[in-house]
Amino acid sequence: MEFCPKCGAVMFPAKGKFSCQCGYEKDITDKLKDKYNFSEEVESKDNVIFTGDDVSTLPTTRVECPKCGNMEAFWWLQQTRRADESETRFFRCTRCKYTWREYD
């Protein structure tokens, strides 16, 4: 997985670049192609995780946004490390849409 250095969200490949929802883009170089095995085409047997700005169906919690100080954020858990380690908790501010993560 490639994470955005600006907002911390997962970046996905599209048109020869890793793109983030915040607008940050990173060219996919030969070095990155060797590091990842990916394709922009999705086969019917593949699982697809869709992320976007519409996260209004996610649960919310009372937590302070480090960017704007708002006291409410959407949250979700995602396994980003080995299976024997705990999940990473992600938050997205309900006001400014800033995304950050928290580890246990």
Tell me, yes or no, if 104 is annotated catalytic: no
Q: Quick one: 36 and 70 in the same domain?
A: no
Q: Quick one: 36 and 77 in the same domain?
A: no
9: nearest Cα among 92, 96, 71: 92
Set 84, 87, 102, 104: catalytic member: 84
pLDDT digits (tens, 9 = 90+) for 46-67: 454 555 555 567 889 999 999 9
Set 40, 85, 87, 102: catalytic member: 85
- CA dist 8 and 26 (Å) reads 14
Predicted local confidence at residue 42, as pLDDT: 53
- What is the domain count for the chain? 2
Name the token pair of 24: 């940050």
Q: Quick one: 15 and 34 in the same domain?
A: yes
Instruction: Establish whether 22 is an annotated binding residue.
Output: yes
| Average pLDDT estimate for 28-39 | 62
Query: Which CATH number characterizes residue 80's domain?
Result: 2.20.25.10
Q: Quick one: 47 and 64 in the same domain?
A: no
Instruction: Establish whether 86 is an annotated binding residue.
Output: no
| Domain interval for residue 74 | 60-102
pLDDT digits (tens, 9 = 90+) for 66-91: 999 999 999 988 887 777 777 889 99
More confident residue, 1 or 5: 5
Q: Quick one: 1 and 44 in the same domain?
A: yes
Cβ atoms of 74 and 60 within 8 Å: the answer is yes
